[in-house]
Chain A
């Protein structure tokens, strides 16, 4: 019997060496997700430590400038550690504690998930090791220092394309060598069951808050919720509690890199096909022989050749739409939000801002868009400067 299915997607495609470890996580999560004491402890951590609930901010200048729908920004960038990643990490770290684990390992792309994991490890007293592709340690050097400052050991991954996918490979390999005391804090809604479900549950706090906040501020639901999608954790978090509200459009923004008609993109829905990789059946950028394609995006966090299985199913069922956003569009949005609202978004989140800039003017002024600002952009400033041809280094 196959577990963790979303339509035809999902499942538990894990080597036998890890099956008992995965089943252990699955059982522990099934127990603790319904345990009021666990949930109370997690809520306390999210509120008192991570600074939740995050604000739902009306972007007045942006709204006026674009001249269409009213734009609200869900400010996940204001969370402790600067992104939505902390929501999932605090949940998994607490679970790992309950399971008696003493060591956390994690992959990271942009470094935000690695920083969040290193932070939780410092807080709760875990040993911590982070795996990060060499390409990403180069373009996100600041986050490497942050992780080390927090007491984590950072392993530079030099295999394959040296990005997020290879960091995931290496973290899985590391887990197989040491499962007894170690929990793998997977950073997105991907991988084998129960990770897509568990990470979605921990991230769904975003839409739980946003839905209540918009009803309180406006007395009605938004017309659209927009979020960027790599593996898809911030997007599923932002969508989840709106899925049943059929009038709300759910829009995921994929990284189109240099364009979906080039070879340099990470647009899984636009250009991918069905496959089985990293523990799940879903859509992947790959060739006709099932070799995973080298993908590209200016954004390390979206530079991933797959998408979480629940997103794949939301696409199949047409409940959500997925649109490709190029590097150029994302960089323009990065600068636009900085100048217009005084908010520097993560380059990942800028993909969502970019689509809001396209969509808002086509909508009426009594409609509402919520854009999830999944992280802050301090980490990206040097890379954006280089993209613009200015030779500054961190």
Chain B
């Protein structure tokens, strides 16, 4: 990235700040769905509508942690010739307009093949605050941690309903926020979340002050209200991607409306 981008870049807010005195609403979308220009517009619109952090999905050919809704978004983005380089350029443009924390969500292969040093250096240059890599478990993250931290990128820890005896080991080293997976399976809208989140959250709180955001399956304001009573933040992906799939180029308004409604539901 060029020095010009550096010069115009807005200094970003830290991830931890968004949880300081409120419950956070975290919105996910897939970069390049339906186009990178639209992704830029959607990010800014959701930010203005009340989103506190945006997760930007770097599309991958084989997103094994995703359900059909986000998987289809990955396919649409790749069909539109979205690449990691073009996504960095898009983020650099977004960074000239907003200070909202931005986090990448992608799989380990696009990061590894791009080159770890090159990838995280670019993240720092364009102002990415963190990264979520579903197929990089605790045992393997040592490979990227030092490089990511050297470039001020938090590697977000995922905790699942099946983590059980692993919870405290995972939580102890978490930075940025903890992504608590609400239910088993892949991403996608669910009518009911059965996991005993309160018990897991209690285990996490015993070892860390790092904020906890809950994702997977959350779509309605009612669900958002319920989750926000337990956790520090609510993450919504598939429901947003579905709005984009349905409205395409014209999704900006419905997205703003949805994010505003969801943010207002947090207590």
Closest Cβ of chain B to A160, distance in Å, is: 6
Residues of A within 8 A of B64 (CB): 15, 169, 172-173, 278
B residues 140-155 touching A (CB-CB < 8 Å): 140, 142-143
Chain A binder among B96-104, B109-117, B199-207: B109-117
Number of A-B residue pairs having CB atoms within 8 Å of each other in the complex: 121
Residue A275 lies at the interface, judged by CB distance under 8 Å to chain B: yes
B222 at interface by CB-CB < 8 Å: no
> Once the chains bind, are A288 and B65 in contact (CB under 8 Å)?
no
CB distance from B250 to the nearest CB of A (A): 26
Known A289-B84, A290-B114: A13·B136 in contact at CB below 8 Å: yes
Q: Are A2 and B61 in contact (CB under 8 A)?
A: no
**With the chains together, A3 CA to B112 CA distance in Å?**
19
Q: Quick check: which of A174-182, A236-244, A263-271 contacts chain B, the rest being far away?
A: A174-182
Q: Does B5 belong to the interface (CB within 8 Å)?
A: no
Q: Chain B nearest CB: distance from A91 CB in Å?
A: 25
Give Cα distance in the complex from A288 to B85, angstroms. Answer: 11
Query: In the complex, are the beta carbons of B166 and A277 less than 8 A apart?
Result: no
- Answer whether residue B209 sits at the interface, using C-beta atoms and an 8 A cutoff: no
- Chain A residues with a Cβ closer than 8 Å to the other chain, count: 39
- Of B109, B112, B142, B162, the contact of A179 (CB 8 Å cutoff): B162
B2 at the interface (CB under 8 A from A): no
* Contact of B137 with A12 in the complex, beta carbons under 8 Å: yes
Q: Is the CB of B158 within 8 A of A273?
A: no
Q: Which residues from A are CB-within-8-Å of B160?
A: 15-17, 19
CB atoms of A275 and B162 under 8 A apart: no
Report yes or no: B158 in contact with A16, Cβ–Cβ below 8 A: yes
Check if A17 sits within 8 Å of B184, measured CB to CB: yes
Does residue B186 face the partner (Cβ distance < 8 Å to A)?
Answer: yes
Whether A173 and B186, one on each chain, are in contact in the complex, defined by CB atoms closer than 8 angstroms, is: yes
B83 at the interface (CB under 8 A from A): yes
A 1-36 binary contact with B (CB < 8 Å = 1; else 0): 111000000011111111111000000000000000
Residues on A with beta carbons closer than 8 Å to the beta carbon of B85 = 289
Check B177 for interface membership: any CB of A closer than 8 A. no
Question: How far, in whole Å, are A35 and B11 apart by their CA atoms in the complex?
Answer: 60
Q: Is A286 an interface residue, CB under 8 A from the partner?
A: yes
- CB-CB nearest in chain B for A174: B185
**Beta-carbon contact of A291 and B60 below 8 Å:** yes
Indicate if A276 sits at the interface (CB-CB under 8 A): yes
Distance A16 CA – B162 CA, assembled complex (angstroms): 8
Cβ–Cβ < 8 Å partners of B84 in chain A: 289
A19 near B137: Cβ-Cβ < 8 Å: yes
The digit string for B129-143, where 1 denotes a CB below 8 A from any CB of A, is 000001111111011
Q: A178 contacts which chain B residues (CB < 8 A)?
A: 184
Nearest CB in chain A to that of B65: its residue: A15
Q: Which of B64, B108, B134 has the most CB atoms of chain A within a 10 A radius of its CB?
A: B64
Interface contact B109-A286, CB-CB below 8 Å: yes
Check A177 against B135 for contact (C-beta < 8 Å).
no
Interface string of A143-164 (1 = CB under 8 A from B): 0000000000000000110000
A21 to B164, CA, bound (A): 11
The answer to whether A13 and B137 touch across the interface, beta carbons within 8 angstroms, is: yes
Point out the residues of chain A lying under 8 angstroms from B136, CB to CB: 13
In whole angstroms, how far apart are the Cα atoms of A159 and B62 in the complex? 9
Q: Does A66 contact B (CB under 8 A)?
A: no
Q: How far is the CB of A21 from chain B (nearest CB, A)?
A: 7
Judged by a CB distance under 8 angstroms, whether A52 is at the interface is no
Give chain B residues whose Cβ lies under 8 Å from the Cβ of A288.
Answer: 113
Least CB distance, A286 to chain B, in whole angstroms: 7
- Given known contacts A2-B140, A16-B137, A19-B166, is B112 in contact with A276 (CB within 8 Å)? yes
Q: Are B137 and A14 in contact (CB under 8 A)?
A: yes
In the complex, which residue of chain B has the Cβ closest to the Cβ of A19? B137
Quote the shortest CB–CB distance from A146 to chain B (angstroms). Answer: 27
11 new A-B contacts, CB < 8 A, other than A173-B64, A284-B109, A292-B109, are A13-B137, A15-B134, A15-B135, A19-B138, A19-B160, A19-B163, A20-B165, A173-B185, A275-B113, A277-B62, A289-B113
For this complex, 30 residue pairs linking A to B, each with C-beta atoms less than 8 Å apart, are A1-B139, A2-B140, A12-B140, A13-B108, A13-B135, A14-B137, A15-B64, A15-B160, A16-B158, A16-B181, A17-B185, A18-B162, A19-B139, A19-B162, A160-B62, A160-B75, A169-B62, A173-B64, A173-B65, A173-B67, A178-B184, A275-B109, A275-B112, A276-B112, A276-B135, A288-B113, A289-B110, A289-B114, A290-B60, A290-B113
